């Protein structure tokens, strides 16, 4: 994998190291490693990263091939939504862990992705960029190389979810309440001023008899954030017995529906959507939902 950049009037006033930090969102650790391997080139010659290139120079960065089988490949169906040389975006089924709890255990989405990549003779190193709870369906992003993983972690990406909640929510709003682990539990979280900041925006898509379909956008990534915040304001998600009440849904009615990100190797923004799964469609139908363009 390699990136090439033509030095222009903007970048000719910057050190090579600064260009790599700002234009390619590389980390200083990555830069040092590639410099020592003589894989940062200026006009095809190993570059001194503290030097200033001139307009018209060609800056090239070569990322060495890695082949590390960190997850046991397993033939698990994978619903691929988008793929290129650097990214793999998958639609995860509810009831499936993103990552196995140990190398010996399987049955996770990552095992299926490792199998899919190995069948294409690609590096099966598994690098999930985001995680979903076991019972949450929808988009999971995998980076095919270390640079892309680091790039997306630094640049970030926008996620939107569909949630079906108890009660009627009339207007768009946000919850800005910190979240921390609940005492005596390694799983459960709670809204508490002593926790880490968590911010969740939500917008009603459709009001049902005594329920609401929401478009939810978390601006932070705390564990169980959406579930905790919606429960905190009195509108727990259907099927969420940890933060709500038992109801007709067998799993939390939460779906990672859309992601928007800047691709590291191509101009422009990528938008990817995962269709709403059948169990959520049936829940909405039962609760009185009609056709809606979001869904």
**What pLDDT is stored for residue 293 in this prediction?**
46
pTM, full prediction: 0.83
Q: Residues for the chain: how many in total? A: 295
E strands along 28-99, which residues?
A: 40-42, 45-46, 58-62, 79-83, 87-92
**What pLDDT is stored for residue 291 in this prediction?**
47
d(CA 178, CA 225): 9
Q: Which residues sit opposite 128 in a β-bridge?
A: 142
> Is 32 in contact with 294 (CB distance < 8 Å)?
no
Q: What's the CA angle centered on 198, arms 195 and 200, to 5 degrees? A: 150
Print burial letters for 144-155: b (CB count within 10 Å at least 16), e (below 16).
Answer: bbbbbbbbbeee
d(CA 236, CA 231): 4
**What pLDDT is stored for residue 66 in this prediction?**
64
d(CA 163, CA 222): 17
Reported as half-sphere exposure (CB side, CA atoms, 13 A), residue 178 has a value of: 9
Residue 271's H or E segment, with its range, is strand 269-273
User: Which active-site residues does the annotation give?
Assistant: 133
Reference 146, options 65, 39, 222, 84; nearest CA is: 65
**What pLDDT is stored for residue 268 in this prediction?**
75
**What pLDDT is stored for residue 103 in this prediction?**
61
Calculate the dihedral angle through the C-alpha atoms of 11, 16, 20, 21, rounding to the nearest 10 degrees: -90
| DSSP assignments along 157-223, one per residue | -EEEEEEEEES---S-EEEE--EEEPTT-SS-EEE-TTSB--EEEEEEEEE-SSEEEEEEEESS--T
**What pLDDT is stored for residue 28 in this prediction?**
86
pLDDT by residue for the chain (295 residues), tens only, comes to 677 888 888 888 899 999 888 877 788 888 888 899 898 999 999 999 999 999 999 998 887 766 556 788 899 999 999 999 889 999 999 999 998 876 667 899 999 999 999 898 887 678 899 999 999 999 999 998 888 888 888 888 999 999 999 999 999 999 999 999 999 999 999 999 999 999 999 999 999 989 999 999 999 999 999 999 999 999 999 999 999 999 999 999 999 999 999 887 666 789 999 999 999 999 999 998 544 445 5
């Amino acid at each position: 994998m390699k990136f090439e950049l033509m030095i222009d009037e903007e970048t000719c006033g910057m050190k090579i190291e600064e260009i790599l930090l700002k234009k390619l969102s590389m980390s200083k650790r990555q830069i040092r490693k590639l410099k020592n391997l003589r894989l940062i080139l200026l006009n095809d010659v190993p570059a001194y990263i503290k030097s200033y290139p001139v307009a018209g120079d060609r800056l090239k960065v070569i990322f060495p091939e890695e082949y590390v089988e960190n997850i046991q490949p397993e033939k698990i169906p994978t619903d691929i939504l988008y793929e290129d040389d650097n990214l793999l975006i998958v639609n995860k089924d509810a009831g499936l862990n993103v990552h196995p709890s140990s190398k010996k255990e399987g049955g996770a989405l990552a095992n299926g992705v490792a199998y899919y990549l190995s069948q294409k003779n690609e590096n099966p190193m598994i690098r999930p960029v985001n995680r979903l709870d076991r019972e949450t369906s929808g988009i999971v992003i995998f980076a095919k190389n270390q640079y892309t993983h680091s790039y997306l972690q630094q640049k970030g990406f926008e996620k939107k979810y569909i949630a079906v909640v108890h009660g009627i929510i009339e207007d768009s709003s946000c919850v800005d309440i910190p979240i921390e682990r609940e005492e005596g539990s390694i799983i459960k979280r709670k809204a508490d001023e002593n926790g880490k900041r968590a911010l969740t925006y939500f917008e009603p898509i459709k009001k049902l008899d005594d329920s609401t379909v929401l478009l939810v956008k978390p601006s932070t990534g705390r564990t169980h954030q959406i579930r905790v915040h919606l429960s905190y304001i009195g509108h727990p998600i259907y099927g969420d017995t940890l933060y709500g009440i038992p109801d007709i849904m067998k799993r939390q009615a939460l779906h990672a529906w859309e992601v928007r990100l800047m691709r590291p190797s191509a101009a422009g923004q990528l938008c990817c959507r995962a269709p709403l799964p059948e169990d959520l469609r049936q829940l909405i139908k039962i609760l009185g939902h009609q056709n809606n363009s979001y869904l």
